[in-house]
Amino acid sequence: MAPLRVTCLGAGTIGASWAALFLSRGAYVALYDPEPERLIQANAIIAAAYDDIRALHPECAECDWSKLHMTNMLSEACQSSDWVQENAPDRLEVKHALLREVEGFVDKETPIASSTTALLASEIQNGMSYPARVIVGHPFNPPHLIPLVEVVAGELTDPALIQRARSFYEALGKEVVVPLKEARGHIANRLNAALFREVVHMVASGIATVEEIDRAMVHGPGLRWAFLGPNLVYHLGGGEGGYAHYLTHLGPSQETRWRELGEAELSESVRKDLVQGLEKALVHLPYDARAYRDAGLISLLKLKASLKTQR
C-alpha cells in the first residue's frame, strides 16, 4: 500500500504536532497555513516534536523531511490528499470559509477531520457540498504525545466514516474514544471544564490559592487518573462491594459536595487573580514546566506500556 498523503490545515502548535506524528508513521504531509511566518516557525515545532516521538519510540526512523511539503497555497496542500486534518482557529466562520474552499480541491470521498475543541461536527459540516465526509478527530495537547483522539460524527456524517477514522488514528498509535452523541467539549474537555470551573470558583471565593490547587492535583487525584478513570477509581474505593457499594454509601456525600460547588465567571478581576496566583506558583517551580511535562509524559507513556505487557 502506498504511503498516505495527509493534508494538515493550520501550522500552529496543534497542526505542527500532528504533522510530526504523521511524518513519523511514514505519511507524506502537506502542511498549509496562510501565514508564511507560521510555516517557518512550524519547522522548529516539528523538529522538537519528532525528537519526542523518537524518545518515546526508539524504533522510529529519523525524520524524512523530503516527505513534508509546507505551503501557503491551499490548492497545493490539498492535491491528491487521502485525509484532511483541519486545525484552524476554533471559530465557526473561519472553519466554514476554509473548508468550503478545501472542497474545491479535494476528491468528494476524502475525509475532512476537524481538531475542534468547542465546535460540533454538525455545525462545521452545515452548508458544505459533501457534509458526509466531515467528522471530528479531536486530539489532546500535545497531539504527538498524548494518545487520546475523540472521534465524533455529525448529523450528516456518513456513519461508516466513524470506523474509518478509528482505523486511521489507531494506525498512528492513538487511543480512539467515541462518544455516543455530540456534545460541546466532547468528553475530555467537558471533564476539563467541569474541573476548571471549580478551580476558578475556589480561587475567586478565597478557598485556596492557584499554587495549592495545582499541588493538590499533582500529588493527589492526578496520580490515579493516569491509570484509572474516575469510575474505576470509585469502584476500587468501594472495596469488596465495588462501585455499587461506593455509590450507595458515599453517593450521598458526593451529592452534598455537588450542592456546595460553585459557579464561576472569568471576569477581568478573576483572570487577574488567576494569573497573579500562577506567577507566584511559577517562582517555586524547580523546573521548566514545558520540558518537565514532556519528559514526564514520555516516561509515563513508556511506563504504562511496560505495565501493560507485564499482565
Positions 84 through 143 that interact with a copy of itself (CB under 8 A): 90, 117-118, 140-141
Minimum distance of a copy of itself from residue 98's CB (angstroms)? 18
Stretch that binds a copy of itself, among 30-38, 77-85, 94-102, 187-195 (CB under 8 A): 187-195
Among 40, 97, 236, 305, binds a copy of itself (CB under 8 A): 236
In which residue are the cell numbers 458515599 written? 250
Minimum distance of a copy of itself from residue 167's CB (angstroms)? 17
Collapsed DSSP state (helix, strand, coil) of residue 265: coil
CA distances from 252 to 221, 232, 238, 249, 256 (A): 20, 18, 14, 7, 6
Q: Concatenated DSSP letters for 177-210?
A: E--SS--TTTTHHHHHHHHHHHHHHHHHTTS--H
Q: Which three cell numbers stand for residue 302?
A: 513508556
Per-residue binder mask for a copy of itself (CB under 8 A), 49-88, x = binder: ----------------------------------------
Q: Does 303 bind a copy of itself (CB under 8 A)?
A: yes
Minimum distance of a copy of itself from residue 76's CB (angstroms)? 27
Stretch that binds a copy of itself, among 46-54, 56-64, 97-105, 174-182 (CB under 8 A): 174-182
Q: Which three cell numbers stand for residue 240?
A: 469488596
Stretch that binds a copy of itself, among 54-62, 73-81, 155-163, 216-224 (CB under 8 A): 216-224
Q: What are phi and psi of 226, to 5 degrees?
A: -70, -20
Sequence-ordered strand ranges (E) for 190-269: none
Q: How many helices, marked H, and strands, marked E, lie in the chain?
A: 13, 8
Residue 264 and residue 197: Cα distance in Å, rounded?
Answer: 6
Residue 230 and residue 224: Cα distance in Å, rounded?
Answer: 9
Stretch that binds a copy of itself, among 27-35, 67-75, 163-171, 283-291 (CB under 8 A): 283-291
Q: Does 218 bind a copy of itself (CB under 8 A)?
A: yes
Among 80, 129, 163, 299, binds a copy of itself (CB under 8 A): 299
Write out the binding residues for a copy of itself, residues 20-39 only, by CB under 8 A. none
Among 147, 158, 164, 166, binds a copy of itself (CB under 8 A): 147
Residue 128 CB neighbour total at 10 angstroms: 17
Element (H, E) at 51: helix 36-56
Sequence-ordered strand ranges (E) for the chain: 5-9, 28-32, 68-71, 83-86, 112-114, 134-139, 148-153, 175-177
Minimum distance of a copy of itself from residue 191's CB (angstroms)? 5
Stretch that binds a copy of itself, among 22-30, 58-66, 78-86, 229-237 (CB under 8 A): 229-237
Stretch that binds a copy of itself, among 66-74, 79-87, 123-131, 297-305 (CB under 8 A): 297-305
Minimum distance of a copy of itself from residue 255's CB (angstroms)? 6
Nearer to a copy of itself, 65 or 196 (CB): 196
